[in-house]
Amino acid sequence: MSDLNHLIYASSSTRLMQEQDLVAILTKSHENNARLDVTGMLLYRGGNFLQVLEGQEAVIDDLFKVIMQDPRHHQVTLLLKRAVPSRQFEHWEMGFTNIDTIDTSTLPGYTPYLSEPFNSHRFKDANFAYTFLNMFKESMR
């Protein structure tokens, strides 16, 4: 029996991230996640993050503890953790989108997700957050 898990969290950055900050986060995530056999996606918008991680439960739990201590963000809110039968982000050491750089008017299906501030309060409904992440995953294929 597999103990594969998804973990979704939201957080706010302690300052607005510049492109080089986001590239540094993404580069380190790719390295660590490949080593740990973790996959997932990170979204950033206006100083806020939404991330899904998937991997073995113990690995995900340990990684989330590290994430919670990262001084680059605060208000880290666990939205969902659950066992899953298979990976949804297979082959993605870390998918990434900086939503601030996208013309969201070209994404009409995203309006319900982007019409309000992008923060942990917005994604209190874990299924809403999961659906949003999956929409981005599909649009990036």
pLDDT digits (tens, 9 = 90+) for 82-116: 999 999 888 766 667 667 777 666 666 665 666 66
Contact 116, 73 (CB under 8 A): no
User: Could you tell me the pTM of the whole model?
Assistant: 0.82
- Domain residue spans of the chain: 4-139
> What is the rounded CA–CA span in Å between residue 20 and residue 116?
26
Q: What CA–CA distance (Å, rounded) separates 13 from 76?
A: 9
Domain 4-139, architecture per CATH: 2-Layer Sandwich (3.30)
What is the rounded average pLDDT of the residues 2-25? 90
Angstrom distance (rounded) from CA 40 to CA 112: 22
> Are β-strands 48-56 and 39-45 bridged in parallel, bridged antiparallel, or unpaired?
antiparallel
Q: Report angle CA 80, 40, 6 to the nearest 5 degrees.
A: 30
- Considering the chain, what percentage of its residues have pLDDT values greater than 90? 33
| Dist. CA 124–CA 141, nearest whole Å | 27
pLDDT reading at 41 higher than 60: yes
Q: Per-residue pLDDT tens for 46-61?
A: 888 888 999 999 999 9
Q: What is the pLDDT of residue 127?
A: 74
List the structure tokens of 30: 């790719």
pLDDT, the chain, mean: 82
